[in-house]
């Protein structure tokens, strides 16, 4: 066991030089029909396949993309992982995955580790990068694309949905539905998605001459969202509508309302989320939400990444894809004349 087949073995069997073998397996290199034939046959006989790592050493291209994810608990991210991985596979790239702890600082260590693997690019999903770190990536010539998060640093590419517009749509819908006391369950305050969605919501409310009635922080985490919901609905004059900064928290909120407090959704309280993860469509939740298409976001991410890899001097791009409102049954619907 363990006898590696190298290009030299193939070369010997085919009666050609090692370079010839290399050229046969290098797209764009020149080789005669006869040589190709001989090499292919020998390679097949020996079961030879080029060593990607060795190839990476000399070419400087590893064809690996580092993916940093903080938590797969929010089912938007498994979707991202799956689709990103598939999309990159189609481009001949593969994904090296790194789980970052929720703790903000650790991301930097993780990125260092990623860089050690000589990845050709990095996708950072739902995590922030220190400016020092992004500088290192730039120095190393490794493009970085933030996914579902933005940062002030203009030199970082980023793909998000249009969170501000999305938040505004929620406000408009709730106002049109005649809600009076609108609460907001915030995500982790450090996240741009959180800030933007809240900002959009507030702007939308203001434009209707209203303002936020209640606000609690759920940090995008299940347990925290649960506590947040309990706090928000503890007193009397409870909100008649809640916008949760993502679907994952919206489910928790619905569960608290229905199963702990015995309230009806949307009868007593309307609930709206953000993301439109698959579960949102399940009838048990039937969650009204804002659709953030993982497919489209991944497609944009891959596109940007490929551009940046091919043309390292290209400008970073920041994209906010359209986030359509998705009406379902968890929020009271505006009357016929509404909206």
55 is an interface residue for DNA by CB under 7 A: yes
Residue 102, CA distances (Å) to 72, 93, 176, 190, 219 in order? 11, 27, 37, 11, 11
Number of H helices, E strands in the chain: 12, 12
Q: In the complex, what is the shortest distance from the CB of residue 99 to a second copy, in angstroms, rounded to a whole number? A: 5
Residue range at the interface with a second copy (CB under 8 A); choices 37-45, 51-59, 183-191, 320-328: 51-59
Q: Which of 128, 146, 249, 254 touches a second copy (CB under 8 A)?
A: 254
CA-based angle 134:302:293, to the nearest 5? 105
Task: Measure the CA–CA gap between 257 and 78, rounded to whole angstroms.
Answer: 27
φ and ψ at 244, to 5 degrees? Answer: -100, 140
Give how many residues touch DNA by CB under 7 A.
Answer: 30
Q: Which of 173, 188, 233, 251 touches a second copy (CB under 8 A)?
A: 251
Q: In the complex, what is the shortest distance from the CB of residue 183 to a second copy, in angstroms, rounded to a whole number? A: 20
Task: Measure the CA–CA gap between 126 and 69, rounded to whole angstroms.
Answer: 6
Task: Measure the CA–CA gap between 146 and 133, rounded to whole angstroms.
Answer: 13
Task: Measure the CA–CA gap between 181 and 83, rounded to whole angstroms.
Answer: 39
Q: Are 119 and 66 in contact (CB under 8 A)?
A: yes
Q: In the complex, what is the shortest distance from the CB of residue 34 to DNA, in angstroms, rounded to a whole number? A: 6
Residue range at the interface with DNA (CB under 7 A); choices 29-37, 165-173, 242-250, 281-289: 29-37
| 26 vs 192 by CB, closer to DNA | 26
Q: Which helix (H) or strand (E) holds 115?
A: helix 106-116
Chain residues 76-105 in contact with a second copy, contact rule CB under 8 A: 77-79, 81-82, 85-86, 89, 94-99
138 binds, among DNA, a second copy, none (CB under 5 to 8 A by kind): a second copy
Residue 108, preceding bond cis, omega within 30 degrees? no
Q: Which of 15, 178, 190, 312 touches a second copy (CB under 8 A)?
A: 312
16 is an interface residue for DNA by CB under 7 A: yes
φ and ψ at 160, to 5 degrees? Answer: -140, 175
Task: Measure the CA–CA gap between 34 and 62, rounded to whole angstroms.
Answer: 30
Instruction: Tell the residue number behind the tokens 């290009």, with chain if given.
Output: 7
57 is an interface residue for DNA by CB under 7 A: yes
Tokens of 137: 């990536």
Q: Which of 12, 138, 318, 333 touches a second copy (CB under 8 A)?
A: 138
Residue range at the interface with DNA (CB under 7 A); choices 18-26, 104-112, 190-198, 241-249: 18-26
Q: Which of 91, 102, 118, 192 touches a second copy (CB under 8 A)?
A: 118
Q: Which of 25, 93, 103, 29 is nearest to 298 (CA)?
A: 93
136 binds, among a second copy, DNA, none (CB under 5 to 8 A by kind): a second copy
Instruction: Tell the residue number behind the tokens 């925290």, with chain if given.
Output: 224
Q: In the complex, what is the shortest distance from the CB of residue 141 to DNA, in angstroms, rounded to a whole number? A: 11
Q: In the complex, what is the shortest distance from the CB of residue 252 to a second copy, in angstroms, rounded to a whole number? A: 8
| 7 vs 157 by CB, closer to DNA | 7
Cα(first)–Cα(last) distance of the chain, in Å? 70
Q: Which residues bind a second copy (CB under 8 A)?
A: 1-4, 47, 49-54, 56-57, 62, 64, 67, 71-73, 75, 77-79, 81-82, 85-86, 89, 94-99, 112-113, 115-118, 136, 138-141, 251, 254-255, 258-259, 278-279, 282-285, 312
């Amino acid at each position: 066991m363990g006898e590696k087949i190298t290009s030299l073995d193939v070369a010997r069997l085919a009666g050609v030089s090692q370079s010839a073998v290399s050229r046969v397996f290098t797209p764009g290199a020149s080789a005669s029909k006869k040589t190709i034939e001989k090499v292919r046959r020998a390679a097949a006989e020996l079961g030879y396949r080029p060593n990607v790592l060795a190839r990476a050493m000399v070419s400087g291209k590893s064809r690996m993309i580092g993916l940093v994810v903080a938590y797969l608990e929010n089912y938007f991210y498994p979707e991202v992982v799956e689709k990103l991985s598939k999309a990159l596979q189609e481009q001949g790239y593969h994904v090296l995955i790194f789980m970052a702890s929720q703790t903000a600082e650790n991301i930097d260590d993780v990125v260092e580790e990623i860089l050690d693997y000589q990845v050709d690019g990095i996708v950072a999903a739902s995590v922030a990068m220190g400016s020092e770190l992004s500088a290192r990536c730039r120095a190393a010539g490794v493009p970085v694309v933030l996914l579902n998060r933005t940062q002030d640093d203009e030199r970082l590419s980023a793909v998000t949905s249009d969170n501000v517009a999305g938040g505004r749509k929620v406000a408009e819908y709730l106002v049109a539905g005649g809600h009076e006391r609108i609460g907001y369950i915030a995500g982790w305050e450090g996240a741009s998605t959180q800030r933007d969605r809240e900002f959009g919501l507030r702007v939308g409310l203001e434009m209707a001459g209203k303002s936020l009635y209640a606000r609690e922080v759920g940090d995008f985490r299940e347990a925290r969202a649960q506590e947040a919901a309990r706090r928000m609905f503890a007193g009397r004059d409870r909100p008649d509508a809640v916008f949760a900064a993502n679907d994952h928290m919206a489910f928790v909120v619905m569960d608290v309302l229905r199963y702990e407090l015995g309230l009806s959704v949307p009868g007593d309280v309307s609930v709206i989320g953000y993301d439109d993860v698959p579960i949102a469509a399940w009838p048990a939740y039937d969650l009204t939400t804002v659709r953030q298409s993982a497919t489209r976001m991944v497609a944009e991410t891959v596109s940007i990444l490929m551009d940046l890899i091919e043309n390292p001097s290209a400008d970073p791009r920041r994209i906010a894809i359209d986030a359509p409102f998705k009406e379902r049954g968890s929020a009271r619907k505006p009357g016929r004349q509404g909206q």
